[in-house]
Chains A and B, each alone.
Chain A
Amino acid sequence: MFTRGTLIYIGQRVVLIAFTVLAVSSIVFLGIHRLPGDALFNEHLHGEQYALLLHHYNLDQPLLTQYRDFVVAVVTRGDLGESLVNRGVKITPLVLRELGISVEVGAFALLFTIGIGLLFGVVASVRQNTWIDYVLSTTSVIGYSMPNFVIASFLILVFGVWLDNVTNGGFYYQLGGWKGDLGQLWLPAFALGFPYASIVARLTRASMLEVVRQDYIRTARAKGLRETVIVARHALRNALIPVITILGPLAIGIITGSVVIENLFGIPGLGKEFAQSILNRDYFIVIGVFTMYAAMVGLANLLVDMLYVVIDPRIRY
């Protein structure tokens, strides 16, 4: 499965990802660092204090030197610098912790997306043109036609307000540490994943309908295999191929969608950090978070390509 050619391909892709992350962070870095020093600080400072602060953040150096130091720090030590607003707070550990949280929510959302999406898509295709199909298809169109914060708001409306099932603070994570269990995560994960589950369902349905018309399905029937076996073993694996194609953009959509969802639900992940830091003008954190995201996107794309190799034996790089 993982031939020499494949491994070389992976290597090339990793290099490309590193390059992209570097390039993109550099642009952001340079863009932000061109702002004058006092635009970067919230307090008004003069004289020696100001000079000390500038020096602390390396801002008294020429731009190119700052950039070189930044790159060296990131590549050798993984050091993304220090927060502008909260002095002394190192960015890298902060961002890594939040990354873990975002990944957990995102992973649930992804599982939900793929699981429910595939299930609904297969059912709709097997029961084509019946009421089940119409209900599922309509639901899925509505699903991907609505922004996820709208879906989230309605869910909050239904579960948080009208049903009064969950208490006020139920969706919001404790500041001290967060529980992260399914009981709390399901709502944001659902809101995050639902639009994408709808897309997956739609695509799976269309793909299954096409696969089921193929000659090899006819062969499988002629052998006397049972319908369930034909669907699960013969049809589904082939139908998955176009679904995997969109898995990349889909994972990225979940990553970016989490920015909105985390803000809505108060989840202390990367997305919330990003929006907050922009608001607080803590640009260094912005650079750090952005770099993390760029890396995530690149890795997500690579993982999807690898998934192709697993599912379709005809693909070898």
Chain B
Amino acid sequence: MPTPILQVRDLRTQFLTDGGIVTAVDGVSFDLHPGESLGIVGESGSGKSVTALSLLRLVPDPGRVVGGKVLFRNQDLLQISEDDIREIRGRDIAMIFQDPQSSLNPVLKTGFQVDEAMLAHGKTKAEARARTIELMKKVRIPAAESRVNDYPHQLSGGMRQRAMIAMGLANTPPILIADEPTTALDVTVQAQILELLADLNRELGTAIVMITHNMGVVAGLCSRVIVMYAGQIVEEGPVEQIFDSPQHPYTWSLLRSIPRVDALRHERLRSIEGIAPDLLHPPSGCRFHPRCPFRIEKCFTEEPKLQDVAANQRAACWVTMERARREMGADNLIDIRPGVGSGVHPGEGI
């Protein structure tokens, strides 16, 4: 594989809340290659958004990046000066956000907000405006010349998100981070936006980091995926491989819980029991063990590290699905309840 364009090593981000310290990102490491589309998947509270924000040092108070390295073009983004990281934001690494309604300034014209992305990095007003119109056409906003003068509230949700994408691509950055760009949109519009991103990835060669909780989005757009849980990476690998044969019980449960169009009507919806862990007091051992159907005793006490489970695929699990299938009848399980596969339940006191 070509040299990674971004290397994240042992990233750690904490929030100092009144109740205590919450480690939202706990030792995350991954690589991003040029032109690659990488998905980061996880439920709310898994730390995926905070990870993305940490890369550009955009974590809001009371959050702090407390450890790790983010290597981009031989610089550690976490160590460079404020002025330097500002240069990089929007020009080399761009980020677009989830809710275009609230992510665009309501009192400024949309076209101007796209212009700004370029004005901040040295273009003149005329250059920026010309390029804005070009970009808006590229992201398929109809009547771009007149739309530039509209305010965000005058545009539909889909158009707003396209404008945000235009904003992100304005300086043709090698990396675009998209934080749940389709979550706040209608399903049909979602599909269009994803298609647009896929086309742009192909045409412009922009590496895309796609953050989402929706496995379907990952399937449609990404070539590689990282699965996060409770601030840690639990599995990573090529998308097809992961979908075909997930090795971490969490990934497996996620994939299993997607309602299927061809499921029989009487089949119950399958969800993963339990709720996301309290990051103030994370569970001991493997963080997923309170909800894991295949846990063994080791899972309660020792935290598993990422290990190779197949070619290019790594998972952090003491059991892995391979064994769960072989020994615990995973494929025949109907309910995804803790311990139902392995039969291991906590003693008194949990």
Chain A directly contacts chain B within the complex, with at least one CB pair under 8 Å: yes
State whether B102 touches A215 (Cβ < 8 A): yes
- Which residues of A95-151 have CB atoms within 8 Å of chain B's CB atoms? none
| A215 near B91: Cβ-Cβ < 8 Å | no
Select one of B91, B95, B97, B107 contacting A313, CB under 8 A. Answer: B107
A220 at the interface (CB under 8 A from B): yes
A34 interfacial contact with B, CB 8 Å: no
B60 within 8 A of A: yes
Contact B120–A313 (Cβ < 8 Å): no
Counting residue pairs across A and B whose Cβ atoms lie within 8 Å, the total is 75
B83-98 contacts to A (CB < 8 Å): 86-91, 94-95, 97
Min Cβ gap B88→A in Å is 7
Question: Which B residues touch A233, using CB under 8 A?
Answer: 108
A237 proximity list for chain B (CB < 8 A): 107-108
Q: Could you tell me which residues of chain A, from 202 to 237, have a CB within 8 Å of some CB in chain B?
A: 213-216, 218-226, 229, 233-234, 237
Task: Out of B88, B97, B99, B105, name the residue touching A224 (CB < 8 Å).
Answer: B88
Bound CA span A218–B95, Å: 10
> A216 and B89: CB pair below 8 A?
no
A222 touches B58 (CB 8 A): yes
Contacting residues, chain B, for A224 (C-beta < 8 A): 86-91, 117, 120-121
B104 within 8 A of A: yes
Nearest CB of A to B7, in Å: 21
A225 touches B120 (CB 8 A): yes
- CB neighbours (8 Å) of A312 from chain B are 106-107
Considering the complex, which residues of chain A in the window 222-277 have a beta carbon less than 8 Å from any beta carbon of chain B?
222-226, 229, 233-234, 237-238
Give Cα A312 to B151, complex, Å. 10
| B17: interface (CB < 8 Å) | no
- Write the nearest CB–CB distance from B96 to chain A, whole angstroms: 8
B75 within 8 A of A: no
Nearest CB on A from B190, distance (A): 19
Using a Cβ–Cβ cut-off of 8 Å, how many residues does chain B contribute to the interface with A? 29
Residue A311, interface by CB 8 Å: yes
User: Are A215 and B103 in contact, CB atoms less than 8 angstroms apart?
Assistant: yes
Is B309 on the interface with A (CB-CB < 8 A)? no
Of B60, B103, B107, the contact of A311 (CB 8 Å cutoff) = B107
Assess the A222–B90 pair: CB atoms within 8 A. Answer: yes
**Hey, which chain A residues are within 8 Å of B99, CB to CB?**
215
What is the bound-complex CA distance between A238 and B56, given in angstroms? 25
Cβ of B153 and Cβ of A223 under 8 Å apart?
Answer: no
- Give the distance in Å from the alpha carbon of A23 to the alpha carbon of B77 in the complex: 68
B117 contact set on A, CB distance < 8 A: 223-224
Interface centre among A213, A215, A223 (most CB of B within 10 A): A223
A224-B89, A224-B90, A314-B153 given as contacts; is B58 within 8 A of A218 (CB)? yes
Residue of B whose beta carbon sits closest to that of A237: B107
- As a 0/1 sequence over residues 131 to 169 of chain B, the CB contacts with chain A under 8 angstroms (1 = contact) are 000000000000000000001010000000000100100
With A223-B120, A314-B151 in contact, do A216 and B106 touch (Cβ < 8 Å)?
yes
Query: Which residues on the A side are within 8 Å of B43 (C-beta)?
Result: none
Chain B residues positioned under 8 Å from A225 (CB to CB): 86, 90, 116, 120
Expressed in whole angstroms, the Cα–Cα distance for A221 and B86 within the complex equals: 8
Whether A220 contacts B88 by the Cβ 8 Å rule is no
With A218-B97, A313-B151, A314-B153 already in contact, the answer to whether A223 and B106 are too (CB < 8 A) is: no
Contact of B58 among A221, A238, A311 (CB under 8 A): A221
- Which residues of A lie under 8 Å from residue B88 when comparing CB positions? 224
Q: Compute how far the CA of A219 lies from the CA of B178 in the bound complex, rounded to whole angstroms.
A: 12
B151/A234 in contact, CB under 8 A: no
B311: shortest Cβ distance to chain A, in Å? 36
Q: Complex: how many Å from CA A238 to CA B102?
A: 12
Inter-chain contacts of A223 with B (CB < 8 A): 89-90, 94, 116-117, 120, 167
For A220, what are the chain B residues with a Cβ–Cβ distance below 8 Å?
105, 116
1/0 contact string of A274-317 vs chain B (CB within 8 Å): 00000000000000000000000000000000000001111000
Residues on A with C-beta less than 8 A from B89 are: 221-224
Cβ contacts under 8 Å, B90 to chain A: 222-225
**Chain B positions 173-228 with a Cβ under 8 Å from a chain A Cβ:** none
- Could you say which residues of chain B place their CB within 8 Å of the CB of A238? 105-107
Bound: A233/B109 CA distance, A:
12
Give CA–CA (A313, B107) in the complex, Å: 6
State the Cβ distance, A226 to closest chain B Cβ, in Å: 7
Across the two chains, which residue of chain A brings its CB closest to B167? A223
Tell me which residues across on chain A come within 8 A of B86, comparing CB atoms.
Answer: 224-226
Of all chain A residues, the one with the shortest Cβ separation from B83 is A226
Q: Tell me, in angstroms, the Cα distance from A100 to B269 when the chains sit together.
A: 76
Residue contacts A-B, CB under 8 angstroms, 19 given: A216-B105, A218-B58, A219-B104, A219-B167, A220-B105, A221-B89, A222-B90, A222-B95, A222-B97, A223-B116, A224-B120, A225-B116, A226-B86, A233-B108, A234-B108, A238-B106, A313-B106, A313-B107, A314-B153
Binding site for B on A (CB under 8 A): 213-216, 218-226, 229, 233-234, 237-238, 311-314
Given A225-B86, A313-B106, A313-B107, 9 more A-B residue pairs with CB atoms under 8 Å apart are A215-B99, A216-B103, A218-B58, A224-B86, A224-B90, A224-B91, A234-B105, A312-B107, A313-B153
